[in-house]
Amino acid sequence: MSLTVSYTSREEIEVHKFSWVVSIGIPLLAVFLQAFLPQKRLRFMEIIDLPLLVTIFFAVSRRRPIPGLITGALIGTLQDALMGARYELRGLINLNGISKTIIGYLASSVGVKLDVDNPGSRFLMTFGFYLVHQFVYTVIDLKLVVVGAHAPPSLTHLVLGAFSNGLLAVALFAVLDRFKLRS
């Protein structure tokens, strides 16, 4: 007999759906902004990972691991495809694809057990997932393929990035909640 620990009520375990326009348009917009905004004058935006936030949002909203990980894989791969040339890496590098696949899987699994509609839990969840994402990314980059596409982030950068993305997630998720289709 398995014991399932959940911090959500039965009503809160609700699987949300999105229209296909939102399902495709929001990730594309996030990847596009991530790829091209920081190249303009908004250099400080580099610390924000919009595709990661969108991955977390869709994963916790759908609450199903397989769609969650596939969403993360597609968003991450698209992000790599757009950003590969920027870092002068030849061809498609799947660093973001792998790390966002894992985040998508974890976020959808967590979405079943936590109240992910609460702003506080959204902040903490995004804070944690940002750190996990950076860890996975750096390990793959420096240990698995030894590419060194990015320098390992400093602790200050990590904390600042996790904090900024957590705050932005609270605001962004509130906006994206409007696109949910109640089933």
Partner 1 sequence: MESFFSRYKNALVLMGVLFVQVIILASNVERDNAGAANHGRTSLVRVWTINTISPLERGLVSTGHFFRDTWRNYVDLHDVRRQNTQLQSEVDRLRLEQARWKEDISESQRLKHLLDFKERYVGRTVAAQVIGTTGSEQSRVVTIDKGAQAGLKSDMAVITPDGIVGKVKEVFRYSSHVLLITDHDSGAGVVLEKSRLRGILHGTGPIDLVVNHIMADEKVDPGEQVVTSGGDGIYPRGLPVGTVISSAPDPNPDNASFLVIRIKPAADLSRLEDLLVVTEIAEQSPVAPDTSARVRAADILSERLPSVPKGKTENPDETAKNKPATGTGKPAGTTAATTPGTTVPATKPKPQVSKGGNPVNALTSGRPVSPEGGMPAVKTQGQKKKAGLDGPAKDSPAKKAPAVEPKPPAEAPPQ
Chain residues that interact with partner 1, rule: CB under 8 A: 65-66, 69-70, 73, 77, 90-95, 97-98, 101-102, 105, 109, 140, 144-147
Smaller CB distance to partner 1: residue 30 or 74? Answer: 74
Contact criterion met (CB below 8 Å) for 130 and 161? yes
Contact criterion met (CB below 8 Å) for 125 and 110? yes
Tell the smallest beta-carbon distance from residue 66 to partner 1 (Å).
5
Q: Which residue has the tokens 């994963």?
A: 59
- Residue 78 to residue 92: CA distance in whole angstroms: 9
Smaller CB distance to partner 1: residue 68 or 166? Answer: 68
Contact criterion met (CB below 8 Å) for 181 and 22? no
Tell the smallest beta-carbon distance from residue 102 to partner 1 (Å).
7
Tell the smallest beta-carbon distance from residue 27 to partner 1 (Å).
16
Which element (helix H / strand E) includes 99? helix 95-113
Tell the smallest beta-carbon distance from residue 2 to partner 1 (Å).
10
Smaller CB distance to partner 1: residue 101 or 164? Answer: 101
Smaller CB distance to partner 1: residue 30 or 98? Answer: 98
Alpha carbon 52 to chain centroid, angstroms: 2
Q: Which residue has the tokens 């705050």?
A: 167
